[in-house]
Amino acid sequence: MREELQENIKRLVNFLNFARAFFVRKNPLKALAMSLISSLKDMLTIKQKLKMAKYRVNYHKHQLYKMESLIAENNEHTFLKGKNLNEMR
């Protein structure tokens, strides 16, 4: 019985050493803290990011509109050509 108790204590100490080494190596509390900080940072800057995304979308829409109008000016088979008909007379 005493040997069995000593064996169990050795196993427990061995497990605790493995657990301590894991916490030293991986440090889940530090990872959790870093994750919370990055999430908080993202939450605080979400309006600024949304503003930039809207600006980019509007800019690309404008560029697309410019390309479509340039293509329409040089294409005689498109329906948008009619708006420049009076200028050519």
Q: Indicate whether 33 and 67 sit together in one domain.
A: no
- Assess whether 51 and 88 both reside in one domain: yes
Residues 37 and 51 in one domain: no
- Per-residue pLDDT of 60-77, as tens digits, reads 999 999 988 887 777 666
For residues 80 and 72, the answer to whether their CB atoms sit within 8 Å is: yes
Q: Look up the pTM and report it.
A: 0.48
Q: How confident is the model at residue 78 (pLDDT cuts 50, 70, 90)?
A: low
Enclosing domain of residue 52: 47-89
* Pair 32, 62 in one domain: no
Do 34 and 22 reside in the same domain of the chain? yes
Q: How confident is the model at residue 89 (pLDDT cuts 50, 70, 90)?
A: very low
Looking at the structure, tell me whether residues 31 and 53 fall in a common domain: no
- Helix, strand, coil shares of the chain as percentages rounded to 5? 90, 0, 10
